[in-house]
Amino acid sequence: MIVKYPALVKPATVTHQYVIIEDFFPTILELAGIKDYKTVQKVDGISFVPFLKNPSLKNDTRALIWHYPNKWQNTLEYGINYFSAIRQGDWKLVYNLRNNTAQLYNLKDDIGEHKDLFNTAPAKAKELTELLGTRLKEMNASMPVNRETGEHVAWPGK
């Protein structure tokens, strides 16, 4: 991502903090000086202004979550369908809601997500799977329904 905001960001500044699209709304509000605002729904993101002000800051404990409990394309092999994912620090877990399987990647060493470490880092895989399930449950996230049983798919890690 590239940010141009001369009043705050010096040219050629780099920060290694990861952000998600939900962070843009609170960031723009903070940059505009808007403090007391009301929204129809909960604001999920956090402002990344502190990371623009101090590029050496880093929050590796924050978990980012993506959740696609539906089928967006006609094939099972391609497209976005029935997956959830969580990133925390250098680690990203992609969870398949159709068959309760997951892949685990270390993004610092493998930004292209080519080497699945699920079986070689089982403690990290379990930690992220359980955290993903907990967060989805806390958000009351929609889960797909198993056509054979008519039941909702279980939360990851359960």
| Contact between 155 and 143 (Cβ < 8 Å) | yes
Q: Is residue 158 part of a domain?
A: no
User: Per mean pLDDT, which range of 17-21, 45-49, 71-75, 109-113 is the poorest?
Assistant: 71-75
Separation between Cα atoms, residue 84 and residue 66, nearest integer Å: 5
Percent of the chain with pLDDT over 90: 73
How far is residue 151 CA from its own chain's centroid? 26
Dihedrals phi, psi of 132, to nearest 5 degrees: -60, -50
User: Per mean pLDDT, which range of 5-19, 42-56, 60-74, 90-104 is the poorest?
Assistant: 60-74
Q: Is residue 146 part of a domain?
A: no
Is residue 78's pLDDT more than 60?
no
* pLDDT classification of 80: cutoffs 50, 70, 90: low
Sheet bearing 101-106, strands edge to edge: 63-71, 81-88, 91-96, 101-106
DSSP state of 155: P
Count of domains forming the chain: 2
Q: Is residue 149 part of a domain?
A: no
CATH of the domain at 72: 3.30.1120.10
Q: Which domain holds residue 5?
A: 1-59
DSSP string for residues in 43-85: ------HHHHH-TT---SSPEEEEEEEEE-SS-SSSSSEEEEE
Q: Are residues 54 and 69 in the same domain?
A: no
Is residue 94's pLDDT more than 90?
yes
Question: Considering the chain, what is the average pLDDT of its residues?
Answer: 91
**What is the structure's pLDDT at 103?**
97
* pLDDT classification of 147: cutoffs 50, 70, 90: confident
Separation between Cα atoms, residue 130 and residue 120, nearest integer Å: 17
**What is the structure's pLDDT at 41?**
85
Q: Are residues 80 and 107 in the same domain?
A: yes
Is residue 72's pLDDT more than 70?
no
C-alpha separations of 77 from 66, 81, 110 in Å: 18, 9, 22
First to last CA, the chain: 35
Q: What is the mean pLDDT of residues 113-126?
A: 98
DSSP state of 12: T
Percent of the chain with pLDDT over 70: 94
